[in-house]
Amino acid sequence: DQQVKQNSPSLSVQEGRISILNCDYTNSMFDYFLWYKKYPAEGPTFLISISSIKDKNEDGRFTVFLNKSAKHLSLHIVPSQPGDSAVYFCAASAPGIKAAGNKLTFGGGTRVLVKP
CB of 85 to another protein, least distance (A): 16
99 Cβ contact list (under 8 Å, min separation 6): none
CB 16 within 8 Å of CB 86: no
Distance of CA 19 to the CA centre of its chain: 12
Q: Rounded to the nearest 5°, which phi and psi values hold at 88?
A: -110, 130
In this complex, which beta carbon is closest to another protein, that of residue 43 or of residue 116? 43
CB of 93 to another protein, least distance (A): 6
CB of 48 to another protein, least distance (A): 10
Q: Which residues bind another protein (CB under 8 A)?
A: 32, 34, 36, 41-46, 49, 51, 89, 93, 95, 101-104, 106-109
Partners of 45 in the β-ladder: 37
In this complex, which beta carbon is closest to another protein, that of residue 19 or of residue 44? 44
CA distance linking residue 101 with residue 92, whole number of Å? 12
In this complex, which beta carbon is closest to another protein, that of residue 62 or of residue 79? 62
